[in-house]
């Protein structure tokens, strides 16, 4: 009887340990595979970063009231705020690197900043 109870307890705690370890899995691609900021394209990489983090204030419809008149919607508008020929990359890069933007929200991830930075340093192409 004691042997049977001990076996049941071992099985129960083993099951709990397996369930607990399973919840420690990370599905974050940056954590799993690292940050790939080498092949950055405007449409595939930079645009989604801006859309997810900046458009709530800096879209065409929101920029006059929430974004200080800075519209980041569309390549031509973004290009006004970046400068591949300047060591600091322009106002957009300075603002996201220092955490000034997005305003009142968490700073962009280091990976997202690296992607935007590399896109600018590689000429800020419309690709």
pLDDT at 9 over 90: no
pLDDT in tens, 22-67: 555 555 555 667 899 989 999 999 999 999 999 999 999 999 999 9
Q: Confidence class of residue 10 from pLDDT cuts 50, 70 and 90?
A: low
Q: Does 3 fall in a domain?
A: no
| Percent of the chain as helix, strand, coil, to the nearest 5 | 55, 0, 45
Measure the CA–CA gap between 119 and 37, rounded to whole angstroms. 8
Extract the tokens encoding 63. Answer: 């920029």
Q: What is the mean pLDDT of the chain?
A: 87
Number of domains in the chain: 1
Q: Does 88 fall in a domain?
A: yes
pLDDT at 11 over 70: no
Domain interval for residue 95: 40-121
Maximum pairwise Cα distance, the chain: 79
- At residue 35, the pLDDT reads 94
Measure the CA–CA gap between 45 and 48, rounded to whole angstroms. 6
**What's the pTM value of the predicted model, to 2 decimals?**
0.75
Q: Does 71 fall in a domain?
A: yes
Phi, psi of 66 (to 5 degrees): -105, -25
Q: Identify the H or E element spanning 126.
A: none
């Amino acid at each position: 009887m004691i042997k049977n109870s001990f076996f049941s307890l071992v099985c129960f705690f083993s099951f709990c340990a397996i369930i607990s370890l399973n919840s420690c899995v990370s599905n974050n691609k940056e954590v799993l595979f690292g940050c790939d900021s080498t092949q950055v394209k405007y449409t595939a990489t930079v645009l989604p970063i801006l859309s997810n983090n900046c458009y709530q204030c800096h879209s065409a419809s929101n920029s006059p009231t929430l974004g200080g008149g800075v519209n980041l919607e569309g390549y031509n508008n973004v290009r006004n705020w970046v400068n591949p020929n300047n060591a600091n990359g322009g106002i957009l890069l300075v603002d996201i690197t220092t955490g000034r933007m997005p305003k009142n929200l968490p700073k962009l991830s280091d990976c997202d900043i690296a992607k935007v930075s590399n896109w600018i340093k590689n000429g800020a192409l419309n690709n």
